[in-house]
C-alpha cells in the first residue's frame, strides 16, 4: 500500500527530554491511504448523487459526477498498481 | 463498515428518475457520451462497481457505434497510468478529440509536491501526448481545445496573474513550438462583475457543478447551481458572453453558492448549435422548499441508507410542490437565453414518478427522455452477467 509521508519538525520528545533547540528533529508520520472502490448508482432517487466512493472501514462518499468522484479518489485513495516511473517526453 | 453492508445501504428503494447526466457532444450524426462499465453485485442490480470507462459514439437508438478508450488505458502512452487516473473531460474540436488528465502527486527536488496535467489528443486511432502543465496539488484544470493549437483553461483557482483585476478561472494557453510544457498566455476576464463574490475566495466553490457543452464553434460553461454561464468562441479562444439563465439570480444567491435546490436538471447540445436545458420552474427557485431536507442532509455521519432515504423523501416532496419542468434554449453566438413556451417534441413538462428528467437530443430537434449513461451501463451489465438457467 502506498504510504503518504509527512514530516513534522522540532516536536518535543516524550518523557520530558527535549531535542536541542538548534537541531530540528524530523518525525516521519506514515499516513496510509485506503484502496477505494468506485460505484455508479443505476437506479435511485432523481436528486441523489450517482457516484459513490467506498472503502472498508470508512463511510462512503457521494458525488454527482464521475469527475468529482475521481478527484476525491485522487486525494484520498491509493489505487495505484505500479511504482512511480520516470516521465518520458 | 464491511463492503456487504455498504452495498446493502447503497441499494435503493425502487426505480425512479435519474439526474445530472453530463452533456454529450455531437460528432457528425453520432452523439458522444461517457460510458462507465463494470459489474453489479449479486442481489444488488441497481449498483455497479465502476472498473472501466470509455467515450462512446451512439446512434439515435442509443446503440454504440464506436468506442474511444480512456487516456489512462492507452497502450504505450509515455506517461504512467497512475498520473492519468483523474480525467477532466473529453472534447472534440475540428475532428480531433482532446482530454486533460492528472493523477498522483509528484515531488520537486526540494520535496514540495505538484500536479502534472497532461493534455492529449486522439488522432489516427490512438492517443498522442501534446504536453503538460504543472500546478499545485489543490488545483483542478480543464483544457478546452480551440483553433490554432490554443486552449481555454478552466480552473478552480486563480492560476497566475496576480493583479486583482486579472483574477479569473479562465485563461488562454498554448504550447510554444518545440516545447512540451503548456504556457498560460493571458487571462480571460470572467465578466461576472455584478456578482462580486463569484470568484472572491481561494477557489471556485461550484467548480464541479459547472458543465461544459461543446458545439461546433463555441464552448458554453454553465454553473448548474446558479445558472451563470460563459460562452467562448473556439475560433478566437475568447469570451463571447457571460450571462445568467435565471432572472431571479442575485448577488446574495451567488454568495451562498447558488439556489438551495439545484435548478438545472440536464443540459445538452442541439445539432443546430444551440444549447438546450430543462430546469425547475423559476418561480419556485426561491421558495425555500427543500431547505428542510438540505439541513437534514448536512447532518454529519449519516449512513448511506439514510442519505438515500432523505433524497427520496425530498424528491417526492419537491415533485408534489414543484411539479412543472421548464425548458430553455441558449444561443451561443450572442448569449441569448430563450425560455420555451412548451417542451420540445418528446420532452416532458410535468414531473412523473419513474420518468427521468435527463434527456438526449435527436437529429430532428426533438428529444428522447432518459439517462443515456445509466442505460448504457445497465445494458453492459446485462450483457456480462450469465443468463438464468431455464427450468
- For residue range A27-73, what is the model confidence (pLDDT) as tens digits? 445 557 788 889 888 776 666 778 888 887 677 788 878 888 888 88
- Residue closest to A46 by CA, chosen among B19, B189, B275: B19
Q: CA B156, B157, B160, B161: dihedral to nearest 10 degrees?
A: 100
Domain boundaries, chain A: 3-76
Task: Provide the 3-class DSSP secondary structure of residue B295.
Answer: helix
Nearest CA in chain A to B51: A38
Question: Chain A window 46-65: which residues touch B at a Cβ cutoff of 8 Å?
Answer: 46-52, 54, 56-60, 62-65
Q: Report residue A87: phi and psi, to 5°.
A: -90, 130
Q: Phi-psi category of A57—alpha, beta or left, where left has phi over 0 and alpha has psi -120 to 50?
A: left
Burial class (CB in 10 A: 0-12, 13-18, 19+), B29: exposed
Write down the pLDDT at residue B385. Answer: 57
Take residue B26 and report the three cell numbers written for it: 455531437
Top pLDDT among B95 and B373 is at B95
Q: What ipTM, to 2 d.p.? A: 0.73
For the purposes of burial, counting CB atoms within 10 Å of the CB of B212, is it exposed (0-12), middle (13-18) or buried (19 or more)? buried
Lowest-confidence region among B174-183, B253-262, B378-387: B378-387
Q: Which domains does chain B have, with CATH numbers?
A: 3-287+322-382 (2.120.10)
Contact B18, B371 (CB under 8 A): yes
d(CA A50, CA A39): 8
- Tell me, what's the pLDDT at B203? 83
pTM of the model: 0.84
Nearest residue to B36 (alpha-carbon basis) of B14, B21, B25, B15: B21
Give the nearest chain A residue to B89 (CA atoms).
A67
Q: Which residue has 448523487 as its cell numbers? A: A49
Q: CB contact, 8 Å: B262 with chain A?
A: yes
Amino acid at each position: 500500500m502506498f504510504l503518504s509521508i509527512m514530516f513534522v519538525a522540532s516536536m518535543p520528545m516524550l518523557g520530558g527530554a527535549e531535542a536541542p533547540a538548534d537541531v530540528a528533529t524530523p518525525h516521519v508520520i506514515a499516513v496510509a491511504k485506503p484502496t477505494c472502490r468506485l460505484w455508479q448508482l443505476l437506479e435511485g432517487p432523481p436528486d441523489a448523487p450517482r457516484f459513490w466512493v467506498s472503502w472498508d472501514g470508512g463511510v462512503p462518499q457521494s458525488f454527482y459526477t464521475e469527475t468529482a468522484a475521481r478527484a476525491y479518489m485522487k486525494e484520498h485513495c491509493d489505487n495505484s498498481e505500479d511504482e512511480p516511473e520516470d516521465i518520458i517526453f | 463498515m464491511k463492503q456487504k453492508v455498504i452495498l446493502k445501504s447503497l441499494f435503493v428503494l425502487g426505480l425512479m428518475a435519474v439526474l445530472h447526466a453530463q452533456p454529450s457532444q455531437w460528432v457528425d450524426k453520432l452523439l458522444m457520451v461517457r460510458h462507465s462499465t463494470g459489474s453489479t453485485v449479486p442481489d444488488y442490480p441497481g449498483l455497479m462497481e465502476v472498473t472501466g470507462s470509455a467515450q462512446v459514439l451512439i446512434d439515435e437508438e442509443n446503440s454504440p457505434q464506436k468506442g474511444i478508450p480512456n487516456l489512462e488505458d492507452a497502450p504505450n502512452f509515455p506517461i504512467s497510468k497512475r498520473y492519468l487516473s483523474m480525467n477532466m473531460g473529453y472534447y472534440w474540436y475540428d475532428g480531433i478529440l482532446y482530454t486533460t488528465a492528472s493523477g498522483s502527486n509528484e515531488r520537486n527536488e526540494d520535496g514540495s509536491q505538484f500536479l502534472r496535467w497532461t493534455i492529449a489528443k486522439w488522432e489516427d486511432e490512438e492517443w498522442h501526448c501534446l504536453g503538460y502543465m504543472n500546478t499545485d496539488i489543490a488545483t483542478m484544470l480543464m483544457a478546452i481545445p480551440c483553433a490554432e493549437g490554443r486552449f481555454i483553461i478552466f480552473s478552480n483557482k486563480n492560476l497566475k496573474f496576480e493583479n486583482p483585476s486579472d483574477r479569473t478561472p479562465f485563461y488562454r494557453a498554448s504550447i510554444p513550438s518545440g516545447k512540451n510544457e503548456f504556457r498560460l498566455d493571458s487571462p480571460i476576464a470572467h465578466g461576472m462583475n455584478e456578482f462580486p463574490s463569484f470568484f472572491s475566495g481561494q477557489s471556485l466553490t461550484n467548480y464541479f457543478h459547472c458543465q461544459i457543452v461543446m458545439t461546433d464553434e463555441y464552448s458554453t460553461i454553465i454553473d448548474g447551481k446558479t445558472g451563470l454561464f460563459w460562452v467562448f468562441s473556439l475560433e478566437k479562444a475568447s469570451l463571447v458572453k457571460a450571462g445568467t439563465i435565471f432572472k431571479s439570480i442575485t448577488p446574495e444567491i451567488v454568495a451562498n453558492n447558488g439556489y438551495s435546490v439545484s435548478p438545472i436538471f440536464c443540459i445538452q447540445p442541439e445539432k443546430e448549435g444551440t444549447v438546450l436545458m430543462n430546469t425547475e420552474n423559476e418561480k419556485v427557485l426561491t421558495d425555500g422548499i427543500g431547505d428542510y431536507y438540505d439541513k437534514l442532509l448536512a447532518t454529519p455521519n449519516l449512513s448511506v441508507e439514510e442519505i438515500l432515504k432523505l433524497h427520496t423523501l425530498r424528491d417526492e416532496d419537491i415533485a408534489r410542490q414543484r411539479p412543472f419542468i421548464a425548458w430553455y434554449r441558449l444561443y451561443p453566438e450572442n448569449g441569448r437565453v430563450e425560455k420555451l413556451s412548451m417542451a420540445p417534441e418528446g420532452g416532458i413538462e410535468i414531473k412523473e414518478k419513474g420518468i427521468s428528467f435527463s434527456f438526449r437530443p435527436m437529429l430532428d430537434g426533438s428529444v428522447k427522455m432518459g439517462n443515456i449513461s445509466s442505460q448504457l451501463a445497465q445494458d453492459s451489465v446485462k450483457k456480462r452477467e450469465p443468463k438464468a438457467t431455464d427450468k
